[in-house]
Amino acid sequence: MILTVMSKYGQGLWRCGLCLSVFLVAVLTGGDTERIAPFSVALVLLLSLGLVFFKSAEYLTLPFLQLTLLVIFCYDSFTVFIRYVWLVPVAVLALAVFLIKRRPPLFKGPTLLPLAAVSVATLLGGVGLISAADYFRGASLGFMLGLGPALLLSYWIMKYELASPRSRDFFLLDLVCWGLTAAAVTFWYVVPLAVKHGGPFGFTEPQWSNNISTMLMIAMPATLALKRRHVGHYLMLGVMFAATMLVGSRGGQLLVGLEVIVCCFWAWRSESDIIKRLWNRTYFLWVLMAAGYVFSLVVINVVSLDLVSSDEPRALLFLRSLENIKENWLFGMGLGYRGNADIYSAKEGAINWYHMMIPQIIGSLGLCGVAAWGYQLFVRAKLSLAVWKNREFGFALCYFGLFLMSQVNPGEFCPVPYAFLAVCFFAAIENSIGEQHGKVPQVHG
């Protein structure tokens, strides 16, 4: 009987068990870095073992995503995690074993060339101006490699791993589980504060609010892309929407309403079943009204809610990026540039962000980066529109959530998990389009 239950419900039990475990770690440790670190190490070791012994990466996506959820609580934690530097060669060796065992062939897709262009622009950032000491500094070099060669490696692997509809279904389900875990953690920490202060705008948001809002906005659209969409999936989207509003991230509060409206419009138009379409339109009418109300409420009160301020560091960093590009028109200041420390001083192990995607491209990568990123965004938009009637458009909406939050946070300039997930989303979309034209990577094993 046990074997029967495991064969039938094993995947669900695995996901539920992992989500519950991560939730309990997040709440029982109180978000304390020292107490979370051992559990993060355990997940890294679990992932490494999975790379060595599993035949594919489909069971590794959720542990990876849940690991990224745990570490957002570990702010300014370089001195803690540097003690576990021995994990790096372990993980690299496990990945090497996986690649040797899996032997993924390189399948070229439309996003490969723009991804390569962005990688080159990232590596060239600051050339001709930045000092060698800043360029080769550990933090800046890590981010450059993570946003350059590592993303090309990710594309090579995930283009192959997301080749089958089954693998893409698993990926969507993992994103939903990730988002629901993030929502549960949010409610646990924030609901008592909201009750105490009379609403989601009356208290100081947790330090991790921007990161968890980004995760929620990435995962939210995946609920509407799952197979056999039903009202429960819409309710899951509503749960993540509520969590994003409640956690207190100003960027999330400002932008999540827009994302929900776009998601609802797509789900409204893409439903094929007549009965479900009638129910969905009634349901979505209320959702759209709620999202529209929240979005308009935030926009109208943008000043009183302290969402926008002329002396806000982001406004100053935007102006600084325009000044910086004049110093090195072609390649910008580079990711290792530390001249912004008077506005934003990074913690140890990080870089001095411009804190927004567009200023980061302008100031760090110059015209070379602007051209490469413009090319990449154009190709991604074109691919997204090509699948808007398919379930895989959910991946495009997941990226839309990341793109929105990246306008007010580092977002896609964080290699893990955000830039990596962006590569995964469009690898999945490419494979969906390839299926329509009979050009699908053949997966062995």
Which pLDDT score, from 0 to 100, does residue 273 have? 64
Looking at residue 310, its pLDDT comes to 53
One digit per residue, pLDDT tens: the chain, 445 residues? 444 444 456 788 889 999 999 999 999 999 898 999 999 999 999 999 999 999 889 899 999 999 999 999 988 788 888 889 899 999 999 999 999 999 888 888 999 999 999 999 999 999 989 999 999 998 899 999 999 999 999 999 999 999 999 999 999 999 999 999 999 999 999 999 888 876 666 677 888 999 999 999 999 999 999 987 777 888 899 899 999 989 988 889 888 888 988 888 888 777 766 656 666 666 667 666 776 766 676 666 555 545 455 556 777 888 899 999 999 999 999 999 988 888 877 677 678 788 899 999 999 999 999 999 999 999 999 999 999 988 999 999 999 999 999 998 889 999 999 999 999 999 999 999 988 766 666 655 5
Please tell me the predicted confidence (pLDDT) of residue 251.
86
CA distance 372 to 368: 6
List C-alpha distances in Å: 19 to 31, 71, 115, 328, 334: 16, 15, 32, 47, 38
Contacts of 440 (CB under 8 A, 6+ apart): 163, 431, 434
Q: The tokens 């980061």 sit on which residue?
A: 360
The reported pLDDT for the residue numbered 6 is 45
Distance, in Å, from the CA atom of 330 to the CA atom of 332, rounded to the nearest integer, reads: 6
Q: Do 175 and 218 meet the contact criterion of CB atoms below 8 Å apart?
A: yes
Taking Cα atoms as reference points, which of 402, 318, 399 lies closest to residue 361?
318
Phi, psi of 230 (to 5 degrees): -140, 180
In this prediction, residue 229 carries a pLDDT of 78
SS3 339: coil
Cα–Cα distance, 83 to 162 (Å, whole number): 34
pLDDT of residue 270: 76
Give pLDDT, residue 3.
41
Cα→Cα distances 9→2, 16, 295, 338, 379, Å: 10, 11, 40, 52, 39
- pLDDT at 276 (0 to 100): 61
Q: How high is the pLDDT of residue 5?
A: 46
CA distance 441 to 439: 7
Residue 27 has a pLDDT of 94
